[in-house]
Amino acid sequence: MRTLRATLLAFVLPSVALAAPPILVVDLSDSYTHSTALAGLLADVDRELKALAQMHRPAIDRLRRELREAKQREPDNRELQLAIARSISDLEATAERDEERLAKANETAIGEVQRAIAAAKATLQSETGARAILDIHETYYVRQDCPCLATERLYELLNQQLPKVELRMAPAE
Amino acid sequence: MRPGEGLTRFLLRSGMLAALAGLWLPPALASPLTLLTIDAGYLESTMPLYASIAAQAAVSSPGVTAKRRSDLELARELRHSEVLIALPEVIAEVARGAGADLVVDRAVARRLDQTAARDITGEVERILVARFGQLPLEPGS
């Protein structure tokens, strides 16, 4: 058994030491389906967008209807028409601000995922001893079965490190 | 024979040791990669093929109408984009022929300290010139 161990040490370890510095390639183009955090974030943003639309749309539609009716019923009452138009404009501005808060929250969450991707890349690099991790966009050809392809492992690490990201919207002013 | 010696000899003879070594190593360390490089900027925009395509399109005759000139310019742009579309296929063709794992730009190779990697810019250019160099800019011309 000692001979076997010695043989393994003699053959295997030098091969690790002498191996050329490896380069890994990752393809993050499908991250919205492979990252559980990003897939969840996408669903959250979609739900929030629908909720925001639902929050303001009925009131805006009602006011537009009222404005149409006011124009027909009291064409000379400019004050009433202006008051309704101002209410519509205020509501639209509120809806726009809500969408901006959502966009900001989305941006913050994406930033968190990007930091997690960088951390997962660092973990991948240290666990494989790779010299560098290239994004697929930095390459012009990668053999289909290249051992350098490490996308799946990167997603495993990313999903372990950040299974979910919160969409934290700042409170409305 | 010492304990384990027979097993070692068997493993060595049957190639099992190499297989085991392959299993025990992370894939990236298992074998060095065959890396090739290209000068992407040259192949995408500055190689003489583009100048010869432009020369085909350049019309100095004063009788040429603005519409004709615009048609020729469009044909030149179209041919340039055809070359760009063919470029990844040609790179892949050369890379497959060389049994390569990876092709990157020279600048990336320098960043990775892989300056000894074989450069295939010339081979890729030769294929592109053979494919597009003699092709008329417009069908029937």
- CATH number, position B57: 3.30.910.20
Domain membership flag for residue B102: yes
Q: Give, in order, the Cα–Cα distances in Å from A35 to each of A40, A105, A122.
A: 8, 18, 17
Please provide residue B16's backbone torsions phi and psi, each rounded to the nearest 5 degrees: -65, -30
Domain membership flag for residue B141: no
Residue A164, pLDDT above cutoff 50: yes
Read off the pLDDT of each residue in B23-31 and give the average, rounded to a whole number: 45
Note whether B37 and B97 are same-domain residues: yes
Note whether B41 and B100 are same-domain residues: yes
B137 in reach of chain A (CB within 8 A): no
Contacts of B108 in chain A (CB under 8 A): 134, 138-139
Residue A2, pLDDT above cutoff 80: no
Higher pLDDT, B106 or B140: B106
Note whether B39 and B101 are same-domain residues: yes
Q: Where are the domains of chain A?
A: 19-161
Contact B2 A147 (CB under 8 A): no
For B58-83, what is each residue's pLDDT tens digit?
Answer: 865 667 788 888 888 899 999 999 99
Give A120 to chain B, closest Cα distance, Å: 16
Domain membership flag for residue B24: yes
Alpha helices by DSSP H, chain B? 5-14, 16-24, 27-30, 40-41, 48-57, 66-97, 106-111, 121-132
pLDDT confidence band for B137 (50 / 70 / 90): confident
Note whether B46 and B25 are same-domain residues: no
Note whether B117 and B56 are same-domain residues: yes
Residue range(s) defining the domain that contains residue B22 = 1-30
Contacts of A25 in chain B (CB under 8 A): 102
ipTM beyond 0.95? no
Looking at domain A19-161, which CATH architecture does it have?
2-Layer Sandwich (3.30)
Higher pLDDT, A143 or B139: A143
Note whether B23 and B72 are same-domain residues: no
Residue A169, pLDDT above cutoff 50: yes
Q: How many domains does chain B contain in total? A: 2
Note whether B47 and B6 are same-domain residues: no
Give A82: exposed, middle or buried? Use CB within 10 Å, 0-12, 13-18, 19+. exposed
pLDDT confidence band for A20 (50 / 70 / 90): very low
Q: CA of A144: which chain B residue's CA is closest? A: B101
Higher pLDDT, A41 or A172: A41
Contacts of B33 in chain A (CB under 8 A): 20, 22-23, 146-148
Amino acid in position B70: S
pLDDT confidence of residue B11: 39
- Interface test with chain B among A13, A124, A135, A141, by most B beta carbons within 10 Å: A141
Other CB atoms within a 10 A radius of the CB of residue A39 amount to 15
A134: left (phi over 0), alpha (psi -120 to 50) or beta: beta
Note whether B91 and B80 are same-domain residues: yes
Note whether B17 and B79 are same-domain residues: no
Read off the pLDDT of each residue in A102-113 and give the average, rounded to a whole number: 97
Give the number of beta-carbon pairs within 8 Å between A and B. 115
Contact A7 B26 (CB under 8 A): no
pLDDT confidence of residue B61: 60
Query: Measured between CB atoms, which of B27, B32, B102 is closest to A141?
Result: B102
